[in-house]
């Protein structure tokens, strides 16, 4: 018998902010997940290296969710200390939790670039993909991702509980246009980014001078 599905939300979280957290909590509720695991990556392979160290980013994520039992922190990629490939993380999770469906959460921009990911075709053998949908993005009508959606897209979000992997769900979420890059710039220039991120994260960044503030 399958267990309740669990969400997986990875990222650099440099820093984590309300855009990440609101997406996680809305999908936790709408998909009736057991929890959402936030997994800070050690070293991203599709973007520039983070500004903050892995240790700082992990500490910020922990601070962000300390009062929210629906959201948990998984340090597996940082502990692995190698380039962070999603498929490796999913394989490890599948080995440890063989009866739990996993829902890999991503934005539409990530979905559109999925074919460039390492062993991307194996991901749907290990997890469902849940796309946090924002209406200003257009889905492709031709190509690899269009074919994937034709084959895998499901209408009911709760179908993720009925199989270990293989489905794609498009789920609307509140669009909070918050930029981690802008938050870092605000800290570095001495401006105040409060209310874009949890207060505990704000205070941690100030105390540890994570983004070179005085």
The ranges assigned to domains in the chain are 6-208
- Measure the CA–CA gap between 5 and 169, rounded to whole angstroms: 13
Q: pLDDT at position 105, please?
A: 98
pLDDT per position as a tens digit, 55-92 = 999 999 999 999 999 999 999 999 999 999 999 999 99
Residues of the chain under the 50 pLDDT cut: 214
Rg over CA atoms, the chain: 17
Global confidence as pTM: 0.96
Q: How many CB atoms lie within 10 A of CB 38?
A: 26
Q: pLDDT at position 175, please?
A: 87
Contact 100, 6 (CB under 8 A): yes
Q: pLDDT at position 138, please?
A: 81
Q: pLDDT at position 134, please?
A: 73
Q: pLDDT at position 135, please?
A: 67
CATH 1.10.3720.10 fits 6-208, yes or no: no
């Amino acid at each position: 018998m399958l267990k309740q599905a669990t969400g997986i939300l990875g990222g650099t979280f440099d820093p984590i902010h309300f855009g990440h957290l609101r997406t996680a909590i809305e999908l936790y509720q709408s998909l009736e997940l057991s929890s959402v695991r936030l997994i800070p990556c050690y070293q991203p392979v599709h973007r520039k290296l983070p500004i903050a160290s892995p240790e700082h980013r992990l500490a910020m994520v922990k601070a962000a969710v300390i009062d929210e039992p629906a959201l948990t922190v998984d340090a597996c990629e940082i502990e692995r200390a190698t380039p962070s490939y999603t498929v490796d993380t999913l394989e490890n999770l599948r080995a440890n939790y063989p009866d739990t469906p996993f829902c890999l959460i991503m934005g539409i921009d990530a979905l559109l670039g999925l074919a460039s990911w390492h062993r991307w075709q194996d991901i749907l053998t290990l997890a469902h993909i849940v796309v946090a949908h924002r209406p200003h993005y257009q889905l492709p009508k031709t190509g690899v991702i269009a074919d994937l959606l034709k084959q895998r897209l499901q209408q009911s979000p709760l179908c993720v509980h009925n199989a270990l992997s293989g489905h794609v769900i498009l789920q609307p979420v509140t669009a909070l246009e918050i930029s981690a890059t802008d938050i870092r710039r605000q800290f570095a220039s001495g401006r105040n980014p409060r209310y874009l991120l949890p207060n505990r994260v704000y205070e941690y960044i100030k105390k540890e001078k994570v983004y070179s503030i005085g």
